[in-house]
Chains A and B, each alone.
Chain A
């Protein structure tokens, strides 16, 4: 592990030109909302950096995050960085299997004690849950995470499952799934949410770590502000239509063809904080809303349970119509009972009424 080449050397060997590398650094600087001058610093730091050892743990996940990170941007610079850093241990990408794979993880941990990054995709059965729901080489996810984290510098929770529990944690959460942050106490956790997350966001976070030796500024959910600081809605090119009140009603009506706002079709853009609108997907080709589909809010906690993908954001999640009907009927029944009681009291008062004469009254006084 000590003869690990620097990133600059690796890139050179892979045939990445200096120009291409600088371009990557400039993009990263602007993505991280750093001044253009920072690009030089990033280039310098990255060029010298020995690629950090990264141990990638996959728990209850669908491999979508790995697909996103390693495939869709191939063969760009980000991909190279990722492939290089994820070599130490990554189920999907590594050639080794079974015990050999676990040995690779242990070796990487010992050789880089205190310095390696742990990347996790997928949620895991929590401390109170049956660990048998997800194991690797007979080791429970929780045990593996705790073991691996002991000597780690920080943990990056990639994807909404690792960051917030995602699909495995969706109601009714049969496996007792929890996000990574629920079980990590003493190491910094950075959440790179998304289902899947944008490839450039994870490489941006790693580049930031390599350049400055610390994790970027985070929001209330532990996500890097540079990428999750603005909502989809704030950056959406359909926003003028939203403001004008022009909405597509169905996926194929005139409004949809004219590119009007997708709010009524369930767009969660107003509550979703992610960089899709600016960075786009597939190497900047397009993004969900551009292709005519509402944002699902995949970067937000509980997005599976947040009231249905195709229901407008303002629609309640509970059953309001039934509640209103039942409440009204019960109220009417209670009102009826009160009326019966009042009437009975009135009738009793009338029947108990005894006329009294003035003389009788005077006698009583």
Chain B
């Protein structure tokens, strides 16, 4: 059997320096458009309007991310997990989704949530410590953001098994990082997805780092090269090329909708900032590496392409910048105006049905608090 959709490094080594360039791409870092037989058909129909939307959402994501960092620095948020540099992977893949598809994101997928239509408060309340998950999973078709590395890959697979049983064409998407591929859950998800031909897409954002551990600690072989061993075709793409991300995701979604089962996408990208606002990346990585990746910026790349094609000009850029400022202001307002829930609510929703022990403890604690009010 051949797995023609897989392309791995010529040396087969993920720790080969050239491995980051051993990817499918159609937009070069300088914005010039090149051809690729695998990807091209999937984006041939993208209209200028859609291309501009892609660009706009990447800019919005970056602005949202900057606002998250700023709010954390100002003490408004307890923590933030920056996604700067990963906008093309997040926005590109999310743009390819249909409303009925369901995403299972990690904590870093702000651009994916944007693509699902999250509200301003949805981005910040969890990081502020007001709620575990602010958004309603049914309105944006996204599971609560996952903190346990890789656990969501199984939920996506199970959800996909349900969609398959329902005879629907909805597809589940699990997003996780390169570090997650070392987890048992992620590997078990591939076994289940493959065995049951579940309509699920695994999107691995290989941003080179799992906190301080380089991807070479997780993988001695390109990550996309693993999936075929499970019977899952994979693509290794340039995760900073928004067009490649749309194309790969459309390829995977199409397979799933046609009943061909799971697919795996390794998007090779880079986390430009710290892992979270508590992290200090200067302790473990070289600024030269960061500078090098800055030359591959996903937004600058798409911008250059759109400008060269006459699809974007200064006034278009202004519009996008204003939209980004407006979103940031909304997010800031949602954060600052947040009200902390009453203490009795922390006992709510532990169970769906009444549970005597929780009710007893709630009553005891409320009595205790009431003692201070007299």
Q: Do A and B come from one complex?
A: no
Q: Which residues of A contact B (CB under 8 A)?
A: none
